[in-house]
Amino acid sequence: MPVTDAAAKARALYDARRTRTPIPPFTDDDPALGMADGYAVQRELIDLLLADGDRIVGYKVGLTSEPMQKMVGVDSPDHGPVLASTVYRDGDEIPLSRFIAPKVEAEIVFVLGERLAGPGVTVTQARAALAGAVAGMEIVDSRIADWRIKLADTVADLASNGAVATSSRIVPVADLDTRLVGMTLTRNGELIDTGAGAAALGDPVAVVAWLANVLGENGVALEPGHLIMTGALHAAVPMTPGDVFRAEFDRLGPVTVRVGA
């Protein structure tokens, strides 16, 4: 029988995360599901995960590039929480056994220095609230079988968030044009893609302002220390055991992820 309500959908995703067993897209049974439906499920899923003892340490923003928005058929990003249990450090080995169908995305990650509460936050205010930027690599994953996601599916599934690894050096952004921060991504020493900060909504800092305003509509603020993942600068790359991914960012430095079994 199809899953019909938000709580049941959230429980299905929760079980899929726990067992590493993907589920069919919710939109197969109900193609009319949209972004609001996805967030209703997401809120229920977050409650289940926090009840297990996890905690929110930031947020990821997805669909920040125009090609990705066109692919999913939307004209705005989506967002989901970053959970403490999913944060890794530069150089850590990340086991594939934690995921279902993981892929790597390099992106600029900001660290909040001051509380930021929307609505009405400008890009200038967002920049002033940042402690700085770090090099980041997101592992995206889908609890939806074969990545057959539509908008409601990925939003419900915490915006397809899997994990994140960040460099340890926080670089101030006062004199840094994050639009122009270039990035190269290598796998096992071979160049596989490049990108620049402008791929994320034209300016990664604009992603922070957008997120603060969207969350603010629901009375949620970005807090000091929160990580803000601003979106991929290139197409996602599948991971296999033994891979070593290294993303090198202008001014921010490198971040490395090693893929375990």
Tens of pLDDT, residue by residue over 137-153, are 999 999 999 999 999 99
d(CA 11, CA 25): 14
What pLDDT, on the 0 to 100 scale, is given for residue 1? 42
Q: Is residue 211 scored above 80 in pLDDT?
A: yes
162-193, pLDDT tens digit by residue?
999 999 999 999 989 999 999 999 999 999 99
Percent of the chain with pLDDT over 70: 95
Q: Is 250 exposed, middle or buried (0-12, 13-18, 19+ CB in 10 A)?
A: middle
User: Among 61-70, 116-125, 221-230, whose mean pLDDT is lowest?
Assistant: 61-70
Average pLDDT over residues 29-48: 95
Q: What does the pLDDT look like over 86-98, one tens digit per residue?
A: 999 999 999 999 9
Residue 63's pLDDT is 83
- State yes or no: pLDDT of 161 exceeds 70: yes
pLDDT given for residue 64 in this prediction: 84
Residue 15 — pLDDT band, cuts 50, 70, 90?
Answer: very high
Q: What percent of the chain has pLDDT over 90?
A: 91
Distance CA 260, CA 242 (A): 6
